[in-house]
Amino acid sequence: MRFPSSLALISLVFAASTLFLIEHFDVWTSFLSHPFWSSKVNWIGMGIGAVISLALHAFVHGNKRRLIITTLVFAVLAFGLYLFTSVSKETFAASYAEDMLAGKFWYFSFMAYIASVFSLFSFAITAVLSDKN
């Protein structure tokens, strides 16, 4: 395993700045998160996503096929987590905030969603800018 290339580090910075701008303009609170904990979960999810991305960038280093497969896996994972987070949010809201398990699912699945979106952005930028076959 090698340390990720400068392209991988550039893609991590791009993903972090994109998610920072999304949080800054309150995009998450308009459709998926609670305004009370949106910012905190965004920062935690970005940290988790950065660690996952760094580890996997070292794994897929120099192999375009692995890079594309990893990007597609994160796209499917992000979509699935988006659906799960939406259902958890609706269940929690329908219970008038009494179903604590649904609230915890909503909180932690949104954190996992942020981490997967971070990794998806990072790998997508790396796949687009990579010139290796």
Domain residue extents for the chain: 6-25+38-129
Q: Quick check: 120 and 74 in contact, CB under 8 A?
A: yes
Q: Is the pLDDT of residue 6 over 80?
A: yes
Q: How far is CA 49 from CA 12, 26, 76, in A?
A: 9, 20, 15
Tens of pLDDT along 27-46? 988 888 888 998 999 999 99
pLDDT at 133 > cutoff 90? no
Share of the chain above pLDDT 90, in %: 71
Average pLDDT of the residues of the chain: 91
98-106: average pLDDT: 94
Calculate mean pLDDT across residues 4-20.
90
